[in-house]
Amino acid sequence: MHIFDDIRPYHDGEVRGVVNRLVADLALSRAMAKFRFPLWYRVAPGLISRVVQAGLRRELNDVYDVKDVQIVIEKYLDKLIEKTAEGLTHSGLDQLDPVLPYLFISNHRDITMDPALVNYMLYHEGFDTLQIAIGDNLLKRPFLTDLMKLNKSFLVKRGLQGRELLAASKQLSAYISHCIATGQNVWIAQREGRAKDGVDKTEPAVIKMLYMQGRGSEPKLPLAEAMNRLNIVPVAISYELDPCDAAKAAELHAIDTRGCYTKDENTDVNSILTGMVGKKGAVHVSFGAPLSVHEEVATTDAVAAQIDAQIVANYRLHLINYLALQKLQPDCMDFATLPARFGVSEALVQQKRELLLARLRPLDAALHPYVLRMYANPVLNQVALNGAQHGVQR
């Protein structure tokens, strides 16, 4: 549909032409060379960029449609997960129907890995892969836009005001509804921007955007019916370690002390790369139950709260979350029960404690509380939801 041409992913018939453009784009080859071979790149940037370009051409020689693209990506993602995660598990997919389309709304901790891991789990369990929402503010280079749109990403227009913002929100709402109506799975984050403090909370503005299509239909759909038609499934992604924890802490500290944080042109790209290649420890992706919204209590805030309840309840807590809480609030629970709670030895608890301390040591002491709260808040989130069973006093 032409009304979506400026935001939609590439279609199969467009893939080969885009691939040829990417292979010819030396900016992409330079970026890949600098990332993959930093030492060689410093010595001979032109030569190593050409070598990488030749390898890219060979790698993509047989790519002609979106499925071919995702086969290549899946191979690299396998290697990435093997190198950066100590375990990747999931739960809840057995309660979903692979035949039905779903709108997966997840917490947002990492720019690219969040949707990539949801997609990875779906792919390996026989579900169709996702259409993925990504902010156009992250795509500062043309080759990034091409790469994302090749992998079934559609653009969310950022930085707009007034009528332009309203028009973009209506278009986005219509596109997501179109995807679900035509049997395609969709992923969006529960908020604009990552949860840098470990508090996963859905922005009601996201629900308002999703409802725009239902509100503009003839006849106008009630909010509950519009939401239920989207088959919303909350998803909780829990990383034992956040590769970007230090950068997030620095941003939060800057906002608290200076009132603002200023990004440069490389900030988002560095966050993307760090999130991809950084150590993540154990990772769990928990798929919730499809949302059932009842009209008598249907407001955008109430729908957001329903999503939050599932994400918080299904978040897989790690030892490091409790150990961070212990450093912040040593008297809030009996931390001696952690070995029994997790079914592990005291030696492993101490090992995880050292892992947390190792992340703090290189940082300015002023950043330590921000990192600790980032890891501790998921425990406190669950305490707020069902505190008694955690034995934690707020």
3-state secondary structure of 25: coil
Q: What pLDDT shows up at residue 387?
A: 64
Predicted local confidence at residue 140, as pLDDT: 80
Task: State residue 161's pLDDT score.
Answer: 94
Backbone angles phi, psi at 187, to 5 degrees: -120, 135
92, 106, 204, 253, 389 from 288: Cα distances, Å: 6, 10, 19, 33, 20
- Please give the torsion angle defined by the CA atoms of residues 172, 177, 180 and 185, in that order, rounded to the nearest 10 degrees: 20
| Closest-CA residue to 234 (of 158, 306, 134) | 306
pLDDT for residue 312 = 97
pLDDT at 264: 80
User: CATH 3.40.1130 in the chain, residues?
Assistant: 66-312
Of the candidates 244, 238, 242, the one whose C-alpha atom is nearest the C-alpha of residue 271 is 244
Structural tokens at position 92: 């809840």
Summarised one tens digit per residue, pLDDT across range 131-141 is 999 999 888 88
Q: What is the pLDDT of residues 220-265, one digit of tens each?
A: 899 999 999 999 999 999 999 999 999 999 999 999 999 988 888 7
Segments of the chain with pLDDT less than 70: 1, 387-394
* CA 41 centroid distance within chain: 30
Is the distance from CB of 90 to CB of 120 less than 8 angstroms? no
Helix (H) / strand (E) element for 116: namely helix 113-124
pLDDT at residue 49, rounded to an integer: 94
* pLDDT of the residue at 394: 57
The reply to whether the predicted model has a pTM over 0.85 is yes
**CATH architecture assigned to 66-312:** 3-Layer(aba) Sandwich (3.40)
